[in-house]
Structure 1
């Protein structure tokens, strides 16, 4: 579909306007190919840092709903969950890269599609994450041994897929992630397939999650020696900075297929999870260039 140049410019302006934080440069649009050859677009944010500094970086993977907010004044910008995390990471002195795995493949969202019918699987997400790793590691401003991977839901499952030592694509990479953090991933497939992490893994889970239930991730975490944190009275998307828990009847997957799933914030759990993220990144990535 042809998109007029003026609309393209408006879209890019709205993205950049939603990808800024204090003490950070505006977002840069960058491009690289996935390992499967798909041309990808990603958004890079960098903190203020001394000239020639090497900056530790977090590669952040969106969930099944994609990167962007839909509707209202925020339409086309990073959604609130992603924006809040970007701001926190920048304040900590980390660069953040947000690859878009959906729109380059002509897909807006996957949440309302049954898992077995999705056109974008964890194979594509793994290849996108590994391509992002190689791209960051090659940048003159980056610290190649200080690149972490983080993801939410479908992107959390992608964290597992991209750090599975049994996968030939993972084993073939010159670099590996210094740490991996997954918010409420689906862990059933990874557990069944014998997942073995090639880096330190942290799982952040909601006790009441009926979309990607915590039980499978607790079992997986115990089997592979991951750090597992389960937040009480918390559903899927508990780290969202706004909104409230609601029932999404449009999601066909989850603990009770066809009955919908719950998703929404828990401010206390969010604060605890953010503190855990900060601690894990400080241990894995070392001192940031701007600290």
Structure 2
């Protein structure tokens, strides 16, 4: 076979790089009907008619958007990774839809993981099954911190809804607060993966381990991965490890440590892709 000339090779390489670097579709706001009004959500959808697998992605207590952007970089990063894999991503805004800001330091929360946020998950699911571009049999859940806690409530057998058939395909929870669920005999009706850092001092790795271990034998597949040396927010890109300072930032927990763990982040990206492909 004749070899390409250097010039031809460089031309083909440049075209390939340009194609790979082509901008991804931007999110668009959609309105999701719910029992308590309208739920605003940001939708990332591949080009074309589909149908596409969909991930409902659930923000933490800091909220979905930033000061000048509808989706914080940490969630946009994950949404874009999933989008590259051919999945649509729906990010419901549980706080902004109710004209609320971050809830991390609110003592008496009006939006509870086990109540309002589960309702938002179910409303999102009901909206998606009506969209012709969405694969009804491949709608999964992905959540972080408070959003992951809501996910744990939503996948319990007691939360099943006849209106949401077929059920969610799978679920992935990043560092939820498992303390209540572990005491209530948690189990899941769909395959659920939990990812947490061993040094997380905001959530509780021991409670999460106890919760998953306690579900064996009476639950759908439930697995936990505890990353040695990793803290809260370990999957967040380019976020140096630091202790939460004394400033009363409503978008941050009151105390603890946050920061990227490169090895844990890389492994979690791989595991998320594999779990969603089940």
TM-score by length of 1: 0.80
Return the match for 2:101 from 80, 99, 108: 108
Residue 161 of structure 2: aligned partner: 171
Contact 2:122 2:164 in 1 (8 A): no
CA contact (8 A) 1:80 1:242 kept: no
2:87 is aligned, of 94, 110, 118, to 94
Please point out which of 226, 237, 255 is paired with 2:233: 237
Paired position in structure 2 for 1:81: 74
* Residue 213 of structure 1, aligned match among 180, 204, 210: 204
Deviation at 1:22, TM superposition (A): 4.6
Alignment of structure 1 residues 1-291 onto 2, 5 Å: 22=22, 24-34=24-34, 36-49=35-48, 52-70=49-67, 75-114=68-107, 117-122=108-113, 123-167=115-159, 170-175=160-165, 176-225=167-216, 226-248=222-244, 249=246, 250=248, 260-283=255-278
Aligned position for 1:7 = none
1:233 and 1:55 map into 2 onto residues whose CA distance is 36
Structure 2: where are the runs of 5+ without partners?
1-20, 217-221
What's the offset of the Cα at 1:48? Answer: 2.9
Point out the structure with max Rg over C-alpha: 2
Check 1:278–1:22 CA distance in 2 against 1; reply closer, same or farther (3 A cut).
Answer: farther
Question: 1: distance between equivalents of 2:122 and 2:191?
Answer: 16
Size of the alignment, in residue pairs? 248
Contact 1:206/1:232 (<8 A) preserved: yes
- Please give the secondary structure, in 2, of the residue aligned with 1:125: helix
RMSD between superposed Cα atoms in Å: 2.1
Structure-2 change in CA distance of 1:217 and 1:251 (3 Å): farther
Per the alignment, in what secondary structure is the counterpart of residue 158 of structure 2?
Answer: coil
Over 3 Å counting, the alpha-carbon distance change for 1:269 and 1:112 in structure 2 is: same
SS in 2 for 1:166: helix
1:10 matched to which residue of 2? none
Deviations 1:100-121 (A, max 9, x none): 000111211111123xx11110
Query: What's 1:286 paired with?
Result: none
For 1:171 and 1:33, the matched residues in 2 are separated by 17
TM-score by length of 2: 0.84
Query: Distance between the aligned counterparts of 1:219 and 1:275, measured in 2?
Result: 25
Ranges in structure 1 where 5+ consecutive residues have no aligned partner? 1-20, 284-291
